[in-house]
Amino acid sequence: MERQRGSPFSDLINQLPIPAKFKMSTWKMYTGLEDPVSHVPHFELQTDLQGVQDDARCRIFSGTLSKTAQCWFFKQQPGSITSWDGFVRIFYSQFSSAMPLLAEPNDLVDIKQRDNEPLKDYIQRFMQEATKVKFLSDDGKLIAINLAVKVKSLFWSSLKRKSTRTTQEFLDRAEEFIKLEEAERKMDNPTQATAMQEKTSARITTNPLEGSKNGGKNGKRCNRARNSGNQNDSKKPQTTEQSKP
């Protein structure tokens, strides 16, 4: 491949080979408005899986840029990009305004479980915010998530009786109470409760056709018994009292 006139790549990078089976059609383009910290690691993972390493990534990475980011790339001085690590530092510096602000460990303490918030939703919300903290130890995460559990809830009472030592142990304990909350929520649903009642009543009651047949047989037996009783009474001799003189 000939070196393009005014290319930001150095002669060494232009000479690096690219695998013939390399594919990049499904990659998401970077316009300069997205988070560069999430775009670069995803690109590095894809290139590693396809056998692209070292500084050959520089030539491929330029194909993932569009709009503002692409205009910035072609304005770089010819031969200014000499290595992948150096290019990443320049890239991060240029689009640092698009990076999300990193939270501090103390910010996690402010994430409290709301009054009507299910335990599952709260844990998902907390773990999502915890990913924004750059330097967060497991102990710090465990302390913050324990302090944010709704006071006097069943899970809160369980944690007071027996504390957890790791975040994974906390999540395992929480899973039991999440299942309990979901079961209670299903019972509180009128539609599901009605369906359960109908299902239960259907098991208890018998088939109405069978009941009518049995009822008809029983009615016939009673009528026969009454008729036979009337016939026996008619056969008995009737005695009348004679009036004394």
Q: Sketch out the chain's domains with CATH numbers.
A: 11-98 (no CATH), 105-192 (1.10.1200)
Amino acid 47 reads T
Whole-number pLDDT of residue 100: 75
Per-block mean pLDDT, blocks of 10 residues, the chain (245 long): 61 70 71 89 84 80 89 88 89 87 73 89 89 82 88 90 92 92 81 56 52 51 55 50 49
Q: How far apart are CA 115 and CA 171, in angstroms?
A: 20
Whole-number pLDDT of residue 200: 53
Residue with tokens 């995460």: 141
Q: How far apart are CA 27 and CA 24, in angstroms?
A: 6
Cβ neighbours, 10 Å, residue 28: 11
Residue with tokens 């395992």: 172
Whole-number pLDDT of residue 121: 92
Whole-number pLDDT of residue 26: 64
